[in-house]
Amino acid sequence: MKIEINNTRDKIIEQYYTLVNPLLGKDKLGPVEIKVLSKMALIYNTYQHLGEEAANLLLFHTQSRKQIREAVAKDLQSAFSRNSHEAILSRLRKKNLITKNKILYLPPIKDGKVNVDIKLNIVNVDE
């Protein structure tokens, strides 16, 4: 089955993280963590053509962090302080989604589109 979602790339990335969130088990993301991670993925994707190392370097640059804070604050329609942002980054590190200076869990973006294939194996469990 193929489902096409016409939306902004930002929202599609956020929807991707929301979709895969239940698969993270005990490390499920909260709504603000999803927003921060999706903004990070969007910025990483913008710089990806420069190579992985450069994209990650630019992603964790002070200006990019500020851009992420401002975008999340706009989405939340409330203040999102530097301390709040650092706390979210710390939680994402504990969940092994980012490291000190690298995003580890990126949506599969190709040619500006997010493609997700979900395969389910149904196993009969003998009771």
Residue 121 lies in a domain: no
Domain hosting 76: range is 9-114
Instruction: Tell me the torsion sign for CA atoms 69, 70, 71, 77.
Output: positive
Residue 1 lies in a domain: no
Give the integer Cα–Cα distance in Å for 124 and 113.
35
**Confidence at residue 7, expressed as pLDDT on a 0 to 100 scale:** 64
- Per-residue pLDDT band at 67 (split at 50, 70, 90): very high
Residue 77 lies in a domain: yes
Give the integer Cα–Cα distance in Å for 78 and 37.
18
Q: pTM for the whole thing? A: 0.81
Residue 3 lies in a domain: no
Sheet strands (E) in the chain: 109-110, 113-114
98 - beta bridge partners? 103
Number of domain units in the chain: 1
Mean pLDDT, all residues of the chain: 85
Residue 73 lies in a domain: yes
Residues 83-116 pLDDT 10s: 999 999 999 999 999 998 899 888 887 776 777 7
Give the integer Cα–Cα distance in Å for 31 and 96.
17
The burial of 67, by beta-carbon neighbours within 10 Å (0-12 exposed, 13-18 middle, 19 or more buried), is given as middle
Residue 56 lies in a domain: yes
Nearest to 116 by CA among 108, 104, 124: 108
**Confidence at residue 4, expressed as pLDDT on a 0 to 100 scale:** 55
Residue 14 lies in a domain: yes
The burial of 27, by beta-carbon neighbours within 10 Å (0-12 exposed, 13-18 middle, 19 or more buried), is given as middle
Instruction: Compute the radius of gyration of the chain from its Cα atoms.
Output: 16
